Amino acid sequence: MVTLAEVAQHAGVSASTVSYVLSGKRSISAATRQRVERSIRELGYHPNAGARALAGKRSNIVALMVPLRTDMYVPVMMEIAIAVATTARAHGYDVLLLTGEEGPDAVRRVTGSGLADAMILMDVQLEDERLPLLLGTGQPSVLIGLPADTAGLTCVDLDWSATGALCVEHLAGLGHRDIAVIGEAPAVYERHTGFAERTLDGVRSRARETGVRVLHRPCEGGYDALALTLARIFDERPGTTGFVVQNESAVEPLLALLRQQGRAVPEDVSVVAICPDQVAVQASVRLTSVAIPAPEMGRQAVERLVAKLDGRGGDEVVLLTPELTVRASSGPAPAAP
Amino acid sequence: MVTLAEVAQHAGVSASTVSYVLSGKRSISAATRQRVERSIRELGYHPNAGARALAGKRSNIVALMVPLRTDMYVPVMMEIAIAVATTARAHGYDVLLLTGEEGPDAVRRVTGSGLADAMILMDVQLEDERLPLLLGTGQPSVLIGLPADTAGLTCVDLDWSATGALCVEHLAGLGHRDIAVIGEAPAVYERHTGFAERTLDGVRSRARETGVRVLHRPCEGGYDALALTLARIFDERPGTTGFVVQNESAVEPLLALLRQQGRAVPEDVSVVAICPDQVAVQASVRLTSVAIPAPEMGRQAVERLVAKLDGRGGDEVVLLTPELTVRASSGPAPAAP
DNA sequence: TTGAAAGCGCTAACAA
DNA sequence: TTGTTAGCGCTTTCAA
């Protein structure tokens, strides 16, 4: 293993000079710099991470806490994680992967040990048990997702309320008066996951404004569960002509069942999905959808975090504006029978 | 920040005693141990990771390199990653998340800096450019996936060849004589991804043994791509009655199109999927399938890696035995017309 | 523009 | 069973 001292000797300079060449924290003559850089290359030197962290008091690592559960749309999580890792690297940080399993303890451990300089939390609940701790330690952090109380926190999220509203607006604008929302699994609502509840809020308030009726049903996803849910919906509201789907694993079953029941999309019923674009275009009917901008969420989270670590920028809530793309699954409401 | 020295002072012992209480590397009297543990608790002490890594020469971190691409089944990747993180924690290791983006450089960086003690590589290609480096550095590592040459390497993977054989065997046993394999996207084969090619090998050799005919077609996934692929298959082999699908995003389109064409599953055609169980049971027809044991793969990889780091166990290739679960999508071949 | 030297917090000989 | 101490490789004053 090559050390900084060896590089210094090889280049005929002092250790501190090598250190400063590396960090750029003081000016070095061109000649010296080149000699040092050459030695570094020739010896294949890599600074020791542990020594750096110890002396420099920063590990250049950010921790990313991902949920353990997989009852929500997993590819979105993965996309966020990959975007976080990629963006972090671009800023010179590595990413430590923590699962929700350890819960709040992980926050303590990582903070206390100086393993990471900062944390990004995914899948934040409205009342999240990790938050008091995070506020207590004063650890720089960014949440992906919005808790109920954002005081003193930096959060990045899609504006789910606006997303819900946008879906309703689109359908209402097409003349639909009876809309059903097929949501995430019941458990998601039970643990008060912000995005799910906020979407619903947005849906409902815009529904009120536009005078359309809304029926919300959580759904486990898969064919059997959806068949039941759909039956209940048409039973209760036979005049339903618009659907908002916020559950990846319900999208395809919904389209299949509607087809099976002889309800044409978009002639008889319209469907708007909240999902990544890739899902929307790969479905059996190209779906009108509001995209979940997963990579942008990951990127933004890291940018904010780096800003905090650099002493720039403080707490803030970043809400990404939803965008609806009209595709083949939505059209004018059929004339009333 | 609380240091070991402070704990030592608080407990009235020397620093080394505290260190040994923590590491268990020498016997400590019960009385002393309790005093130290009490001080640790009271002061809220957490060992500094950097100092530990520097003095102890191990970071207690393993690096996990995940592919950047997402043209393969993402939830499987995520499940593996989560299993790796969880299992690693159980052994006292943290996980550093590296994306494929940096390529081989990441191997150099992590190795050289002592950031991680070992690496796990996912999505290994048959000829993977990271491997020579890995062998060169002598960094302990485990691959998830099998390269062409496994000399000197430890690998964990599903036995894809046996998986392919198992699928054919099942269909052949039911009397199917003409089988089509709907595979991953062409790009996956073009870059010589081991699992895809090996599955095909297994399929073909068992087909030869059982005397069935096989037609393989890569497929991008999604409805449009699959419709084309399916048309070509029936065009070329009108008598096809058995399908093996190894592409998550082709499963549902296949079922839908078959239905649409009036081909009943499993009465007219049988379908065997290679996918996680969850996908198999959530499909519109409960699928006979060979499960991809993602969590087991992640777990095994970590177990092997830890064994290596502990000086136990050397190179080996761990092939997990595939298991086929019969569900509703496969049945006896229809009588020849 | 450069060098010397004092730590950073911990581990692991070596001693007792 | 416990204590003393010399580093681990780097950053960063302080001095020149």
Each residue's pLDDT tens digit, A125-144: 899 999 999 999 989 999 99
Q: Closest CB to B50: pick one of A50, A74, A252.
A: A50
Same domain, B202 and B140: no
Contact between chains at A256 and B284 (C-beta distance less than 8 A): yes
* Cβ-Cβ contacts under 8 Å, A95 against chain B: 96-97
State the average pLDDT over residues B199-215: 98
Which nucleotide has its C1' atom closest to residue A35's CA? C2
Same domain, B216 and B126: no
Element (H, E) at B178: strand B178-182
Output the six-digit token pair for B277: 């169980």
What is the rounded CA–CA span in Å between residue A331 and residue A310? 49
Is the pLDDT confidence value at A36 over 90? Answer: yes
Same domain, A164 and A154: no
Same domain, A272 and A303: no
Among all protein residues, pick the one whose CA is nearest to the C1' atom of D2: B17
C-beta separation of A285 from A326 below 8 A: no
Count CB atoms within 10 A of the CB of residue B166. 22
* Cβ-Cβ contacts under 8 Å, B99 against chain A: 82, 85-86, 89
Is the pLDDT confidence value at B337 over 70? Answer: no
Element (H, E) at B153: none
The pLDDT value given to residue A294: 95
Sequence-ordered list of residues with C-beta below 8 angstroms from that of A337, at least 6 positions apart, any chain: none
Tell me the H-state helices in A64-103. 74-90
High-pLDDT (> 70) share of chain A, %: 99
Is the pLDDT confidence value at A337 over 70? Answer: no
Contact between chains at B97 and A95 (C-beta distance less than 8 A): yes
Q: Is A24 exposed, middle or buried (0-12, 13-18, 19+ CB in 10 A)?
A: exposed
Is the pLDDT confidence value at B34 over 70? Answer: yes
Over chain B, what is the mean pLDDT?
95
Same domain, A307 and A253: no
Closest CA–CA distance from residue B250 to any residue of chain A (Å): 10
State the average pLDDT over residues A302-319: 93
Same domain, A230 and A166: yes
What is the rounded CA–CA span in Å between residue B238 and residue B319? 36
Count CB atoms within 10 A of the CB of residue B114. 21
Same domain, B24 and B36: yes
Output the six-digit token pair for B113: 């800096």
Contact between chains at B281 and A222 (C-beta distance less than 8 A): yes
State the average pLDDT over residues B285-305: 97
Q: Closest CB to A96: pick one of B1, B96, B101.
A: B96
C-beta separation of A106 from A98 below 8 A: yes
Which nucleotide has its C1' atom closest to residue A113's CA? C9
State the average pLDDT over residues B115-123: 96
Is the pLDDT confidence value at A91 over 70? Answer: yes
* Cβ-Cβ contacts under 8 Å, A133 against chain B: none
Closest CA–CA distance from residue B75 to any residue of chain A (Å): 6
Is the pLDDT confidence value at A327 over 90? Answer: yes
More confident residue, A120 or B100: A120
Q: Is the CB of B51 under 7 A from strand C?
A: yes
Q: How confident is the model at residue A193 (pLDDT cuts 50, 70, 90)?
A: confident
Cα nearest neighbour of B251 on chain A: A252
Cα nearest neighbour of B252 on chain A: A252
Contact between chains at B54 and A77 (C-beta distance less than 8 A): no
* Cβ-Cβ contacts under 8 Å, B78 against chain A: 70, 74-75, 77-78
Quick check: is A333 in a domain? no
Q: How confident is the model at residue B131 (pLDDT cuts 50, 70, 90)?
A: very high
Output the six-digit token pair for B52: 């530990």
What is the rounded CA–CA span in Å between residue A146 and residue A156? 7
Is the pLDDT confidence value at A311 over 80? Answer: yes
Which CATH number fits the domain that encloses residue B42? 1.10.260.40
Quick check: is A336 in a domain? no
The pLDDT value given to residue B192: 86
Quick check: is B283 in a domain? yes
Closest CA–CA distance from residue A53 to any residue of chain B (Å): 5
Closest CA–CA distance from residue B211 to any residue of chain A (Å): 36
Q: Which amino acid appears at position A68 of this protein?
A: L
Q: Closest CB to B77: pick one of A52, A78, A223.
A: A78
Last residue of a domain, one of A13, A28, A55: A55
Quick check: is B335 in a domain? no
Q: What residue numbers bound the domain in which B98 lies? A: 61-158+294-321
What is the rounded CA–CA span in Å between residue A143 and residue A78? 16
Contact between chains at A47 and B86 (C-beta distance less than 8 A): no
What is the rounded CA–CA span in Å between residue A180 and residue A263? 15
Quick check: is B327 in a domain? no
Supply the DSSP symbol for B26: S
What is the rounded CA–CA span in Å between residue A41 and residue B157? 37
Q: What angle do CA B210, B241, B215 make, to 5 degrees?
A: 65
Is the pLDDT confidence value at B70 over 80? Answer: no
Query: Of B54, B55, B75, B58, which Cα lies nearest the Cα of B66?
Result: B75
Give the number of domains in chain A: 3
What is the rounded CA–CA span in Å between residue B72 and residue B66? 12
Same domain, B101 and B151: yes
More confident residue, A311 or B98: B98
Q: How confident is the model at residue A153 (pLDDT cuts 50, 70, 90)?
A: very high
Going B267 to B270 to B271 to B277, the CA torsion angle's sign is positive
Q: Closest CB to A54: pick one of B44, B50, B99.
A: B50
C-beta separation of A304 from A142 below 8 A: yes
Quick check: is A331 in a domain? no
Same domain, B194 and B113: no
Q: Is the CB of B19 under 7 A from strand C?
A: yes
Footprint of strand D on the protein (CB under 7 A): A 1, 3-5, 15-16, 19-20, 22-23, 25, 45, 47-48, 51-52, 54-57; B 12-17, 20, 26-29, 31-33, 51, 54-55
DSSP, collapsed to helix, strand or coil, labels residue B196 as: helix
Quick check: is A337 in a domain? no
What is the rounded CA–CA span in Å between residue B184 and residue B194? 12
Give nucleotides in strand D with any atom < 7 A to a protein C-beta. 1-5, 7-13
Which nucleotide has its C1' atom closest to residue B55's CA? D8
Is the pLDDT confidence value at B69 over 80? Answer: no
State the average pLDDT over residues B184-191: 92
Quick check: is B210 in a domain? yes
Q: How confident is the model at residue A67 (pLDDT cuts 50, 70, 90)?
A: confident
Element (H, E) at B170: helix B160-173
Is the pLDDT confidence value at B269 over 70? Answer: yes
Same domain, A25 and A87: no
Sheet with B118-121, strands from edge to edge, namely A317-320, A155-158, A141-144, A118-121, A61-66, A94-99, B94-99, B61-66, B118-121, B141-144, B155-158, B317-320
Instruction: Give per-residue pLDDT as tens, B58-68.
Output: 999 999 999 87
Contact between chains at B82 and A99 (C-beta distance less than 8 A): yes
DSSP, collapsed to helix, strand or coil, labels residue A284 as: coil
Spatial distance from the CA of B3 to the C1' of C16 (Å): 26
The pLDDT value given to residue A33: 97
Q: What angle do CA B219, B227, B161 make, to 5 degrees?
A: 30
Same domain, A167 and A281: yes
Which CATH number fits the domain that encloses residue B115? 3.40.50.2300
Contact between chains at B98 and A114 (C-beta distance less than 8 A): no
pTM of the model: 0.94
* Cβ-Cβ contacts under 8 Å, B112 against chain A: 1-2, 44-46
Contact between chains at A94 and B99 (C-beta distance less than 8 A): no
High-pLDDT (> 90) share of chain B, %: 87
Query: Of B40, B94, B89, which Cα lies nearest the Cα of A116?
Result: B94
Output the six-digit token pair for A183: 């949501």
Count CB atoms within 10 A of the CB of residue B70. 13
Contact between chains at B49 and A47 (C-beta distance less than 8 A): no
Over chain A, what is the mean pLDDT?
95
The pLDDT value given to residue A147: 95
Same domain, B170 and B316: no
